[in-house]
Structure 1
Amino acid sequence: MKRSIVVMLVMMISLFSLPCKAQVEKTLEPKLENISWIAGNWKGEAFGGRTEENWSEPSGGSMMASFKLINDEKVSFYEIEIIREVENTLILQLKHFDNDLKGWETKDETVDFPLKEITVNKVTFEGMSFEKVNENEMNVYVDIEQKNGSIETVKFNYTK
């Protein structure tokens, strides 16, 4: 009995004394092929309603998406989004539209999110990030400025 306790203690000490290495995700090149997992027809809930976000596969140096929010069975607003390759990096740009397609931004204005980092399961832009949970689920985090000037990060959980 004493021998088996000693053996178990030695095994536990050996196990816990193994060198611990923090998992560091490798940063990937700013190429559309490294974020192609975003492509697909995604559905979720946010802002008290249903959301749809449909991303194309990379082609022509860009990916494009349409977004809509449905509240009380009516569209609240739309977005057109693109991620494009510009000068050896990526940029996410979007425009908002009311339910009658009247734009929120002026004709030549876009909301821009410069790239910060890409890893195997995450792409981070300034103010928006996409996180791959698995092949059929992703989270999108968007920083939204509130009326009082503070920033609130809103999480969109999507499934295919």
Structure 2
Amino acid sequence: MKKVIFYSVTIIISLLFTSCLKKDDKKDLAETKKYEKLENAKWIIGSWGNTTKEGVLSETWSQLNDSTLSGKTAFITGKDTLFTETIEIIQINDSLLYNTKVSNQNEGRTVSFKASTLTENQIVFENSKHDFPQKITYNKISSDSLVAKISGKKDGKEASEEYPMRKNKH
């Protein structure tokens, strides 16, 4: 009789322990962070570019991890690289940030812009305290075409530059 009680108690404790683990596992899955804002920006992933008489502009985006997209921009004329930039689009809590480090600018420091608009076809990042630009906009024209635009005040006047790009076929 003692053996039956012992085995019964052991089975009941095992079942309780197992059921608790399953509830905790479900709870952990529910608590997994969701990066919905970053998900809405993933259309930018890929290799983009444009060739003009001034040179070749290229911008490449990839997913670094659950919360971060990583980008690199270069502008090349002939054999000279005139401009390079490393970028991260990162979601922290409910904010989507565009962190950029431009070669030979801002004393090598990263400048951060916060998303003010995020739709399926447009992302706008703003930093009113930055010298120029104060606004960076990506407009999705089609699945293989976008226009990047920088804008704001420059020397006290409104200024902007647009960079149309096509997705490279690899």
Same fold (TM over 0.5): yes
Task: Look up the equivalent residue of 1:120 and give its one-letter code.
Answer: E
Gapped regions of structure 2 (runs ≥ 5): 1-34, 127-134
Task: Look up the equivalent residue of 1:65 and give its one-letter code.
Answer: G
Measured on the aligned residues, the alpha-carbon RMSD in Å equals 2.2
* Aligned counterparts of 2:110 and 2:67: Cα–Cα separation in 1: 18
**Structure-1-length-normalised TM-score:** 0.70
Check if 1:88 corresponds to 2:94.
yes
Check if 1:158 corresponds to 2:165.
yes
Gapped regions of structure 1 (runs ≥ 5): 1-28, 98-102
How far does residue 73 in structure 1 lie from its aligned partner after superposition?
3.1
Instruction: After superposition, give the CA deviation of every residue in 1:15-49 in whole Å (9 maximum; x if it has no partner).
Output: xxxxxxxxxxxxxx961110100000000147922
How many aligned residue pairs are there?
125
Residue aligning to 2:147: 139
Q: Which residue, 72, 81, 84 being the options, matches 1:78?
A: 84
**Structure-2-length-normalised TM-score:** 0.66
The verdict on how the C-alpha distance between 1:40 and 1:140 changes in structure 2, with shifts beyond 3 A counting, is same
Larger relative contact order (Cα-Cα within 8 Å, sequence gap ≥ 6): 1
* Aligned counterparts of 2:118 and 2:40: Cα–Cα separation in 1: 8
The verdict on how the C-alpha distance between 1:141 and 1:30 changes in structure 2, with shifts beyond 3 A counting, is farther
* Aligned counterparts of 2:65 and 2:163: Cα–Cα separation in 1: 25
Larger radius of gyration: 2
Residue aligning to 2:112: 112
Check whether the contact 1:45–1:156 (CA below 8 A) recurs between aligned residues.
no
How far does residue 129 in structure 1 lie from its aligned partner after superposition?
0.9
Residue aligning to 1:15: none
Instruction: Answer 1 or 2: which has greater helix percent.
Output: 2
How far does residue 60 in structure 1 lie from its aligned partner after superposition?
3.2
Check whether the contact 1:144–1:154 (CA below 8 A) recurs between aligned residues.
no
* Aligned counterparts of 1:47 and 1:110: Cα–Cα separation in 2: 30
How far does residue 71 in structure 1 lie from its aligned partner after superposition?
1.7
% identical equivalent positions: 22
